[in-house]
Amino acid sequence: MAEDQSGRMGVDKTATEGEPARSAEGGDGRPVSLVTWTLATFDTALFVLLGILAAHASGGLADLLGGLNTLVGVAVFCYLWALFVLAVRWVHSRVTLGNAPLQTLVLHGVVAGCATGVAFLLGLFAVALVPTIQSGGVRLQAVLVVLLIGAGVAAVVGGVVGLLASLLDTAAYGLAGYLLPEAGNEQVTEPRRQ
């Protein structure tokens, strides 16, 4: 987060209040910062791994994966990964990890999670159902009703995932700060104590 923090020191005060940080996401010219890339991949990987772990522990993994084409699975994962990157990037453009109050961060995480859940569902619907609708295999009204209900469920699930992810990310950031050894040169803080 050198690009996050050092590039944003001037905007942190506003960013922590929930206003958008105006600086570029990646200070080194990248579209995303290392923190965004790390946390988005961490959240995505953990989300998938815990799902696989739960499915395997309950004995349903073979059935779950049996009907999944490998390339489709890869495409779905990459789509989910991209959505997580966009969601984390959006959160970090508005609040700074480590400086913002937990409540603000969690709120942004929930909103981003809801949007990600709905976008994920819409993406799947677009790929799976649009060709069927075009060929006249399914009635449009029925699809819209299912889509509406599905979007509600996806928003709730996404919100819960966003809530848990933002709590986990904050905990990891706090733990990293705790494990970071004291600076050798403490003179930055010494004069303030006088």
Residues between 59 and 98 that touch other proteins (CB under 8 A): 59, 61-62, 65-66, 68, 70-71, 73-74, 77-78, 81, 98
Residue closer to other proteins by CB (options 69, 135) is 69
Does 187 participate in binding other proteins (rule CB under 8 A)? Answer: no
Q: How many residues sit close enough to other proteins to count as binding (CB under 8 A)? A: 48
Does 160 participate in binding other proteins (rule CB under 8 A)? Answer: no
Does 191 participate in binding other proteins (rule CB under 8 A)? Answer: no
Stretch that binds other proteins, among 10-18, 37-45, 100-108, 147-155 (CB under 8 A): 37-45
Options 17, 19, 22, 52; binder of other proteins; rule CB under 8 A? 52
Does 49 participate in binding other proteins (rule CB under 8 A)? Answer: yes
- What whole-number distance in Å separates Cα of residue 93 and Cα of residue 185? 31
